[in-house]
């Protein structure tokens, strides 16, 4: 990701104390190893323990919570999210999510070097127009949970989307490899994912610039290799 590259370059550092102050807030989250964006899910550790006694809480557990306000109704947002096949448009590290029945779904996540992680998730909370939660079934490569809530924003500001994701790789699994490769900045990754959700629901598609359509650094100039982008599909 272009912006991740910049952040690693420490661009923010150049502007000194203000930037550092804002960074420190996310440290406590990203200091915990792991990468929630790859797998997307959440509940706090306490809630996980409460929800399921069978579940072992791995030391490398990652928890992320992010919120964004979107100028759409809670019903619209719920409907988009409940159609799970939409989620890979929002969360870039998901390859596909396929509903198997009303409760269960098959998730595929992109891993390092072209590998994928795959698991079955079940919906454990479903309140139309208000909230949804899900978690991986026992025996998955990756333990994960997620919860999204849609709350009316004050005034005519639309709807607040509150997302909490949690993830823990059982030792030795492909999840650990993903965690090592995609380590760091899960909060920022989810932040970018939620901005994409907002772009899709408010503007009809993901916002693209001359630089952002490329993986890695690219000058802000047109290039001939955009043919792979089907601009009619957003």
Partner 1 sequence: MKALCWHGKKDVRVEQVAEPQMLSRRDAIVRVTSTAICGSDLHLYNGLIPTMEKGDVLGHEFMGEVVEVGPDVGNLKVGDRVVVPFPIACGACGACKAELFSLCENSNPNAAIAEKMWGHSPAGLFGYSHMLGGYAGGQAEYVRVPFADVGPLKIPAGLADEQVLFLSDIFPTGYMGAEMCNIRRGDVVAVWGAGPVGQFAIASAKMLGAERIIAIDRFSYRLEMARTHAGATDVIHYETEDVASTLKELTGGRGPDACIDAVGMEAHGHGVGYAYDRVKQAMMLQTDRPTALREAIMSCRNGGVVSVVGVYGGVIDKFPMGAVVNRGLTIRAGQCHVHRYLRPLLARIEAGDIDPSFVITHRMALDDAPEGYDTFMHKEDACMKVVLKAA
Residues contributing to the site for partner 1 (CB under 8 A): 2-3, 6-7, 11-12, 14-19, 22-23, 69, 71, 157-158, 188, 191-192, 195, 198-199, 202-205, 207-213, 217-224, 226-227, 229, 231-232, 234
Instruction: Give the nearer residue to partner 1 in terms of CB position, either 135 or 198.
Output: 198
Instruction: Give the nearer residue to partner 1 in terms of CB position, either 34 or 191.
Output: 191
Sheet order of strands, 104-110 included: 62-70, 159-168, 143-152, 131-136, 116-127, 104-110, 94-99
Closest distance between partner 1 and the C-beta of residue 226, in Å? 5
Instruction: Give the nearer residue to partner 1 in terms of CB position, either 102 or 224.
Output: 224
Closest distance between partner 1 and the C-beta of residue 22, in Å? 6
In angstroms, the CA 77 to CA 132 distance is 11
In angstroms, the CA 18 to CA 12 distance is 9
Instruction: Give the nearer residue to partner 1 in terms of CB position, either 49 or 229.
Output: 229
Give the Å distances, CA to CA, from 82 to 65, 79, 85, 106, 210.
19, 5, 9, 14, 32
Closest distance between partner 1 and the C-beta of residue 35, in Å? 16
For 206, other C-beta atoms within 10 Å of its C-beta total: 16
Instruction: Give the nearer residue to partner 1 in terms of CB position, either 92 or 116.
Output: 92
Six-digit token pair at 34?
């792991």
DSSP string, 94-116: EEEEEE-SSSEEEEEEE-GGG-E
Closest distance between partner 1 and the C-beta of residue 153, in Å? 9
Closest distance between partner 1 and the C-beta of residue 101, in Å? 34
Instruction: Give the nearer residue to partner 1 in terms of CB position, either 98 or 234.
Output: 234
Instruction: Give the nearer residue to partner 1 in terms of CB position, either 113 or 219.
Output: 219
In angstroms, the CA 186 to CA 33 distance is 9
CA count, 13 A, side-chain hemisphere, 231: 7
Under 8 Å CB-to-CB from 160, ≥6 apart: which residues? Answer: 67, 68, 69, 150, 151, 152, 153
In angstroms, the CA 24 to CA 22 distance is 6
Closest distance between partner 1 and the C-beta of residue 220, in Å? 4
Closest distance between partner 1 and the C-beta of residue 225, in Å? 9
């Amino acid at each position: 990701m272009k912006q991740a590259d910049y952040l690693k370059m420490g661009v923010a550092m150049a502007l000194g104390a203000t930037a550092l102050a804002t960074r420190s807030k996310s440290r406590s989250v990203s200091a915990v190893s792991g990468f929630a964006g790859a797998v997307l899910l959440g509940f706090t550790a306490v809630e996980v323990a409460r929800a399921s006694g069978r579940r072992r809480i791995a030391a490398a557990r990652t928890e992320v919570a992010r919120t964004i306000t979107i100028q759409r109704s809670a019903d619209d947002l719920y409907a988009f999210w409940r159609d799970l096949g939409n989620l890979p448009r929002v969360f870039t590290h998901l390859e596909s999510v396929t509903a198997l029945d009303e409760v269960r779904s098959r998730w595929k996540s992109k891993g390092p070097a072209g590998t994928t992680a795959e698991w079955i998730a079940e919906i454990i909370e479903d309140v139309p127009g208000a909230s949804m939660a899900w978690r991986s079934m026992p025996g998955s490569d990756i333990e994960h949970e997620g919860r999204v809530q849609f709350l009316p924003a004050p005034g005519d500001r639309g709807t607040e989307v509150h997302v909490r994701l949690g993830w823990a790789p059982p030792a030795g699994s492909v999840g650990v490899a993903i965690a090592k490769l995609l380590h760091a900045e899960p909060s920022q990754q989810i932040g970018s994912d939620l901005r994409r959700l907002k772009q899709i629901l408010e503007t009809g598609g993901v916002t693209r610039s001359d630089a952002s359509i490329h993986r890695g650094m690219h000058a802000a100039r047109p290039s001939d290799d955009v043919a792979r982008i089907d601009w009619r599909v957003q």
